[in-house]
Structure 1
Amino acid sequence: MGKSDFLSPKAISNRIKAKGLQKLRWYCQMCQKQCRDENGFKCHCMSESHQRQLLLASENPNRFLDYFSDEFKRDFLELLSRRFGTKRVHNNIVYNEYISHREHVHMNSTKWETLTEFTKWLGRQGLCKVDETPKGWYIEYIDRDPETIRRQDEQAKKKKQDLDDQERSAKFIRDQVRRGRDGKETEETPVYTELKRESEEEKVAFKLGASSAAGPSKPSSVLGATAVRASTSSSSSSSVKRKDMSSSSDSKMEKKKKKSALEEIIEMETRKQQQQQPVRTDHWLQPNIVVKVVTKRLGDKYHKKKAVVMEVRDKYEAVVKMIDSGDKLKLDQTHVETVVPTPGKRVLILNGPHRETEALLEGINEKSFNATLTLESGQQKGKSVDVAYEDFSKLA
């Protein structure tokens, strides 16, 4: 068995010695060769292959320096992103894990002399967030992968949508509570007052019945007679009360029946007017009106763009068609606002006593935030009214 055989003691000893990391000063980056001692490194520097590599590097030294620098930066950032992600970590921890690989690019072959200089360069280039502490420099990788950015945007949109849904449900609950309070009649609660004596000299007197006022010395016959009289008096008083109630109810019925024809006509007219004048509602969407999209959830493509309401669903949702692109969207009432056209255009009143009435815009009052409209339909056709901006919108 020769000395250079694979299973020879010499070959096994050389492999054991070459295993793991060696000293950096005995490593040649140009030839990518690691020497075990000073003598081996000296012999390598005198070899013909090393001299040939030095001649090639002397022709264009910047090319080799940039190549090794790019390799070091790429491998370092790849390890940082894969091993630590976007966590804040000490730069020396990342470097020690990087150089544990035997075939790594050494820093003495790059354009950075120290790890601190390389860390500062990463911060200036915007590749990492760096900060200096008493314990050293800390770095945090900035993930600029398009897939990661898209995923973060989707998570932000979903979070915002959840918040909008919660706000919408909370508003719906508040509206329901407000409607319940408006429709409920206020009940008069009894007021309890404390029994107080106005003056110290005043005496508190209690009136008792005749039976209790009589002493225990009265005979039983007298007590029985008084009880009979009390029962008869109570029955007579109850009958009198019933008669009074029946007579009062009869008098009320007679009063109701004795209403004149003029009063009945007035009551009928007031009822008609109350039916004709609807109260303000919290929903104002109507078909065939022009609205403006104010929500930013849909992006800049639809923000501040005008659309036509095609259909109204559940009073608070509408299917709109964008005027510019023709896209159809389903939006909530809070995501759009009314459109005030120029004077001379036809509008539709959306809320108030003239709800669902078409009108002509005569003028705009910027100080009072309302407009003067001339009604074109209904019983009050031709009448001029002042309506707030949010209570009317342009007709499509």
Structure 2
Amino acid sequence: MGKEKGGFLTPKAIANRIKAKGLQKLRWYCQMCQKQCRDENGFKCHMMSESHQRQLLLFAENPDKYLDTFSKDFQDGYLELLRRRFGTKRVHANIVYQEYIADREHVHMNSTMWETLTEFVKWLGKEGECVVDYTEKGWFVQYIDRDPETIRRQEATKAKEKMDMDDEERTAKFIQQQISRASQSDTKSHNPEFTELKREDEEEKVTFSLDSGAKKKEDTTFKKPTGNPLKKVDSKSVFGKGESSRQEGKMETGGAEMRGQKRKSALGEIMEFEEKKREKVNRKDYWLQKGIVIKIVSKKLGDKFYKKKAYVKEVKDLYTGIIKTLDSGDTIKVDQTHVETVIPAIGKEVMVVNGAYRGEKATLEHIDTKEFCCTIKINSGLITGRIVEGIQYEDISKLHT
């Protein structure tokens, strides 16, 4: 009996399975037949086969149906991978595509309505499926989660933030009322008055008489004092009156100052506590605000825009925005890492872009170049007129006028 040809465990069958394992070239794949060929000769033979010809006849009957089906499957697979793998993070489109085509059973792009990945990404942005933007590194996509549960959680978070802001505004208003009430009470309270030192008992006379005999006698004669007749008057009270009144005046003045310091420290503690609370709520890792002047500090945008000043025309998302240069009027899209804030001259108007007073307009009062901070005066909100010290350079920026 002759040896049986072929078989699952023959060396040729094993070699063929090893060659077929993994991804093959996209141009030798037939989407209609879902068959991957290893080389050009195999693909040519497949195209001449009877099974492939039958599939072409089916495709010719209704090409739009098959094309839409393949496009829909490709889009669903891409978006599902983007949602599961990256969530709502901003990621490079090609990274998602490379992970998508790692599956051998994926729908190939040459069978869809899109010829390139760029066209597909643009179509996603146009249809509102993702947030897309173009940088010098290529196209980036960000998935838009429209799940009802996710939307409900986002609305609950926004409602909580709004409630916290309302409570904060009420607290700030209450503190402002307390400060105004304290300032009014301070003006009404009389300050200690210092008068010229005068001796009250000028008419008193003290006389001493000494006998020439053996016994010394002391005769002291007093006129009737104007105060309590039972009050005993001695030489210490007579001659030390001015010094004691001066000490009493100092004690009264010191007591008034101590009371003022205690009142001031209590208000200061309340304001410090509220400022820490505002700082915790408003301190974010993003700071771009519409209408502020910024300076381009990255050379990735080109030497033409390096060190140029511009103003933020529109904020696209939390970290990127559309800016317009002040000198040439060019409009470009930048990330917040490419720019920095601009500190104007003293007396100019600025906007607080981060920290406790985020979003408030203010006037620059003083700049401390040693500590890299400044002093501002708030011009908006419930705390108008408040002077705030120790604001860092990166927390404020010049307003565009």
TM-score w.r.t. the length of structure 1 is: 0.48
TM-score, normalization: structure 2?
0.48
Greater relative contact order, per chain length (Cα 8 Å cut-off, separation 6+): 2
